[in-house]
């Protein structure tokens, strides 16, 4: 159809999808929006999202945006009609939200994923499922390989574990090609949750940064542009029934993050320490070898550079 010229002009990695029709569930969210912006206009893309406000904001004009719920069979059937590739990102995406809504969030995060995979059976679609480092819980060692024990600690992690495992089994059960991507701490423009976004917005307002505990906790912060590249790599790989970590393989302590954020504001801001959070995971870092070897994916943006882009960028 008109406007498909991924071969010549579209960002790296989208050319393989030039003839595909793509659905992004949760496409109005933080990661989904970046993905849709990368796919359009070269790839015919539609979005299914239940969010009621701002659903169109930041999405290209040519993207069809359907308001609907992945757990509603009619909404899902309409969204998936004729689709070749599904990026399934719709979810209760924060741990506290799943603690507030343990039943409904399981319905969306686990059953919703099963529904997407199930729909793919009847139409030969490939499915890329957003999983999470939360499936590992408190890892025995870092960096965490994909075959580490999965011991989620929150309703969020349990729902993602079910989604992740369904994605990996659907090929065996029903011949549906699917993979799960276990995102680590994603950051970038438009992100509002998490320690990095919180630090940045507090620093901008001149409020002190609050570290829970001594700040020796480590995280693997991966920029959303890299996550989009991983999603595209997962759509074109032949691998199915697999899970891949999506991180940088670099660890940053929360204390170090606070220092980096302090440096972005002239004059700096104070850093305070508060009580440790009992459920906090001490260390998190992706073993990135499998994604590198089997997807050809490697994160490119270092935290310093990604942070600087956020500070300089228009939507931060
Ligand atoms: P987000 O909350 O910004 O986006 C999720 C989108 O899904 C929202 O627009 C929301 O309206 C939509 N949605 C929620 N429930 C829905 C439903 N029932 N039907 C249709 N749409 C629904 O989250 P995000 O940060 O963009 O994350 C995208 C995916 O990646 C999620 O599955 C999340 O769990 C996963 N993930 C994110 C991170 C991270 O650091 N951001 C880390 C690990 C995994």
Place of tokens 């059960």: 173
Query: What's the first-to-final CA gap in the chain, in angstroms?
Result: 34
Parent domain of 41: 6-185+224-247+283-300
What is the C-alpha separation between 120 and 17, in angstroms, rounded? 17
156 is catalytic: yes
Predicted local distance difference test score (pLDDT) of residue 10: 57
Nearest CA to ligand 1 atom 44: 132
**Considering 156, 166, 170, 187, which one is annotated as catalytic?**
156
List all residues whose CB is within 6 A of at least one atom of ligand 1.
25-26, 28-32, 48-51, 69-71, 89-91, 93, 108, 112, 130, 132, 183, 185-186
Which one of 51, 56, 91 would you pick to mutate in the ligand 1 pocket, going by the greatest count of ligand atoms within 8 A of its CB? 91
The Å distance, Cα 91 to ligand 1 centre, comes to 4
Three state DSSP letters for the chain: CCCCCHHHHCCCCCHHHCCCEEEEECCCCHHHHHHHHHHCCCCEEEEEECCCCCCCCCCCCCCEEEECCCCCHHHHHHHHCCCCEEEECCCCCCHHHHHHCHHHHHHHHHHHHHHHHHHHHCCCCEEEEEEEHHHHCCCCCCCECCCCCCCCCCHHHHHHHHHHHHHHHHHHHHCCCEEEEEECEEECCCCCCHHHHHHHHHHHHCCCEEEECCCCCEECEEEHHHHHHHHHHHHHCCCCCEEEEECCCCCEEHHHHHHHHHHHCCCCCCEEEECCCCCCCCECCECCHHHHHHHCCCCCCCHHHHHHHHHHCCCC
User: What would the pLDDT profile of 132-155 be if each residue is shown by its tens digit?
Assistant: 999 999 999 999 999 999 999 999
Nearest-atom number in ligand 1 for the CA of 71 is 18
Q: Does 277 fall in a domain?
A: no
pLDDT band at 87 (very low <50, low <70, confident <90, very high): very high
Which one of 24, 32, 93, 127 would you pick to mutate in the ligand 1 pocket, going by the greatest count of ligand atoms within 8 A of its CB? 93
What is the C-alpha separation between 284 and 28, in angstroms, rounded? 27
User: What would the pLDDT profile of 151-179 be if each residue is shown by its tens digit?
Assistant: 999 999 999 999 999 999 999 999 999 99
What is the C-alpha separation between 305 and 162, in angstroms, rounded? 35
Nearest-atom number in ligand 1 for the CA of 190 is 3
CA angle 200, 24, 45 (to 5 degrees): 115
What is the C-alpha separation between 273 and 199, in angstroms, rounded? 13
The Å distance, Cα 95 to ligand 1 centre, comes to 11
Q: Does 258 fall in a domain?
A: no
Residue 22, class by beta-carbon neighbours within 10 Å (0-12 exposed, 13-18 middle, 19+ buried)?
buried
Q: Does 1 fall in a domain?
A: no
* Paired tokens of 1: 């159809």
* Paired tokens of 176: 């549906």
Q: Does 145 fall in a domain?
A: yes
User: What would the pLDDT profile of 217-234 be if each residue is shown by its tens digit?
Assistant: 999 999 999 999 999 999
Q: Does 309 fall in a domain?
A: no
What is the C-alpha separation between 135 and 126, in angstroms, rounded? 22
Nearest CA to ligand 1 atom 19: 69
pLDDT tops 70 at residue 290: yes
What is the C-alpha separation between 234 and 232, in angstroms, rounded? 5
User: What would the pLDDT profile of 176-187 be if each residue is shown by its tens digit?
Assistant: 999 999 999 999
Average pLDDT of the chain is 93
Nearest CA to ligand 1 atom 21: 49
Q: Does 115 fall in a domain?
A: yes
Nearest-atom number in ligand 1 for the CA of 32 is 26
CATH number at residue 231: 3.40.50.720
Q: In which region does residue 85 sit, left (phi positive, over 0), alpha (psi from -120 to 50) or beta (all else)? A: beta
The Å distance, Cα 92 to ligand 1 centre, comes to 6
User: What would the pLDDT profile of 239-287 be if each residue is shown by its tens digit?
Assistant: 999 999 999 999 999 999 999 999 988 888 999 999 998 777 899 999 9
What is the C-alpha separation between 215 and 203, in angstroms, rounded? 17
Place of tokens 């015919």: 44
Number of domains in the chain: 1
> Of how many residues is the chain composed?
316
% of the chain with per-residue pLDDT over 70: 95
The Å distance, Cα 28 to ligand 1 centre, comes to 9
pLDDT tops 90 at residue 53: no
pLDDT tops 70 at residue 7: no
Q: Does 33 fall in a domain?
A: yes
What is the C-alpha separation between 265 and 269, in angstroms, rounded? 7
The Å distance, Cα 93 to ligand 1 centre, comes to 5
Nearest CA to ligand 1 atom 4: 29
Nearest-atom number in ligand 1 for the CA of 33 is 26
């Amino acid at each position: 159809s008109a406007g498909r010229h991924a071969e010549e002009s579209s960002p790296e990695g989208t050319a393989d999808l030039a003839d595909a029709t793509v659905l992004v569930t949760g496409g109005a969210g933080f990661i989904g929006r970046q993905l849709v912006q990368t796919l359009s206009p070269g790839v015919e893309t539609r979005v299914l999202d239940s969010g009621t406000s701002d659903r169109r904001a930041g999405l290209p004009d040519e993207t069809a945006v359907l308001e609907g719920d992945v757990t509603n069979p009619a909404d899902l059937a309409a969204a998936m009609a004729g689709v070749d590739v599904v990026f399934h990102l719709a979810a209760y995406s924060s741990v506290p939200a799943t603690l507030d809504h343990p039943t409904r969030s399981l319905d969306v995060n686990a059953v919703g994923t099963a529904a997407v995979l199930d729909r793919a059976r009847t139409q030969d679609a490939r499915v890329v499922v957003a999983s999470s480092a939360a499936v590992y819980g408190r890892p025995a060692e870092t960096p965490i390989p994909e075959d580490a024990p999965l011991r989620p600690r929150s309703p969020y992690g349990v729902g993602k574990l079910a989604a992740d495992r369904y994605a990996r089994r659907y090929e065996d059960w029903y011949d549906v090609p699917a993979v799960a991507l276990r995102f680590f701490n994603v950051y970038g423009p438009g992100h509002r949750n998490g320690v990095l976004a919180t630090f940045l917005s507090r620093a901008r307002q001149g409020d002190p940064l609050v570290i829970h505990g001594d700040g020796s906790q480590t995280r693997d912060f991966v920029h959303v542009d890299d996550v989009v590249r991983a999603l595209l790599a997962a759509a074109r790989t032949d691998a199915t029934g697999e899970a891949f970590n999506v991180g940088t393989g670099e660890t940053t302590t929360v204390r170090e993050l606070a220092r980096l954020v302090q440096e972005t504001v002239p004059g700096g801001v104070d850093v305070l320490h508060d009580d440790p959070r009992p459920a906090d995971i001490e260390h998190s870092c992706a073993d990135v070898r499998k994604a590198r070897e089997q997807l050809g994916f490697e994160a490119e943006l270092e935290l310093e550079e990604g942070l600087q882009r956020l500070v300089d960028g228009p939507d931060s």
